[in-house]
């Protein structure tokens, strides 16, 4: 099916794609012919409303919200849409194995405008990253099990003039984790440029 959404590589698109790259999943239910795209959240209802608003606006379709209350632990949220065009839309920007997206996802190339990079870095940080006060300093860190994506995030930051570091944590029984961290001297510049939703957690 032809993609009906105009590809501009805008900041809005970057954020949408970053959010999906971080906490999105997809499933094709063959029996019913349904194409499911889902974004998963923890107990962050305000952020769920924020994401739903921008997804509804861009895709011009209502994303349904689910709230799960487990027997133990905090509530979990998700937003979902059933639509084949949306299901395939993210392939305009990303490459991934739908059965194990977390460690296979990567951007299809490095040649994106700065506006898209800013949006992507915001969306991915707000889903798979940290902005936190640590010993009277603000720590900004991304994490992913995708080696390729970790390198791309580091490159995007460098392209935008943000000094950063990349390291790997090896795990015996689980996938390795790659950490991309903003160097302390550039944290303030990063927060002013990227404007992550999680910046509110540290008063920024």
Beta strands in the chain (DSSP E): 24-29, 34-41, 64-68, 76-82, 94-95, 106-107, 129-134, 137-144, 164-169, 177-182
pLDDT in tens, 32-42: 899 999 999 99
Q: In this structure, what is the dihedral angle of CA atoms 33, 31, 40, 119, given to the nearest 10 degrees? A: -30
pLDDT in tens, 104-163: 999 998 889 999 999 999 999 999 999 999 888 999 999 999 999 999 999 999 999 999
C-alpha 72 chain-centroid distance: 26
The reported pTM is: 0.94
- DSSP class of 164: E
- DSSP class of 63: P
Q: Rounded distance, CA 23 to CA 40, Å? A: 5
Q: In this structure, what is the dihedral angle of CA atoms 120, 173, 165, 19, given to the nearest 10 degrees? A: 10
The pair of three-digit structure tokens given for residue 144, joined into one six-digit string: 């992913």
pLDDT in tens, 63-84: 999 999 988 889 999 999 999 9
- DSSP class of 62: P
- DSSP class of 72: S
C-alpha 19 chain-centroid distance: 3
Length of the chain: 204
CB atoms within 10 A of CB 140: 26
Number of H helices and number of E strands within the chain?
7, 10
Question: 3-state DSSP call for residue 172?
Answer: coil
- What rounded mean pLDDT belongs to the chain? 94
Q: Rounded distance, CA 38 to CA 21, Å? A: 11
Residue 1 has pLDDT above 60, yes or no: no
Residue 196 has pLDDT above 80, yes or no: yes
């Amino acid at each position: 099916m032809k993609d009906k959404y105009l590809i501009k590589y805008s900041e809005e698109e970057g954020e949408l794609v970053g959010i999906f790259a971080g906490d999105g999943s997809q499933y094709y239910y063959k029996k019913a012919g349904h194409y499911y795209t889902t974004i998963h959240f923890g107990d962050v209802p305000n952020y769920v409303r924020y994401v739903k608003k921008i997804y509804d606006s861009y895709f011009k379709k209502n994303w349904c919200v689910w709230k799960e209350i487990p027997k133990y632990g905090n509530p979990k949220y998700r937003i979902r849409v059933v639509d084949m065009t949306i299901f395939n839309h993210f392939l305009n920007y990303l490459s991934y194995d739908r059965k194990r997206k977390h460690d296979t996802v990567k951007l299809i190339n490095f040649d994106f405008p700065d506006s898209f990079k800013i949006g992507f870095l915001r969306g991915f940080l707000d889903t798979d990253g940290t902005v936190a006060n640590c010993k009277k300093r603000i720590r900004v860190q991304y994490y992913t099990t995708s080696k390729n994506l970790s390198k791309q995030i580091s490159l995007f930051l460098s392209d935008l003039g943000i000094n950063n570091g990349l390291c790997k944590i090896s795990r015996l029984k689980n996938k390795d984790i790659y950490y991309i961290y903003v160097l302390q001297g550039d944290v303030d510049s990063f927060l002013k440029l990227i404007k992550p939703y999680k910046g509110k957690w540290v008063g920024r």
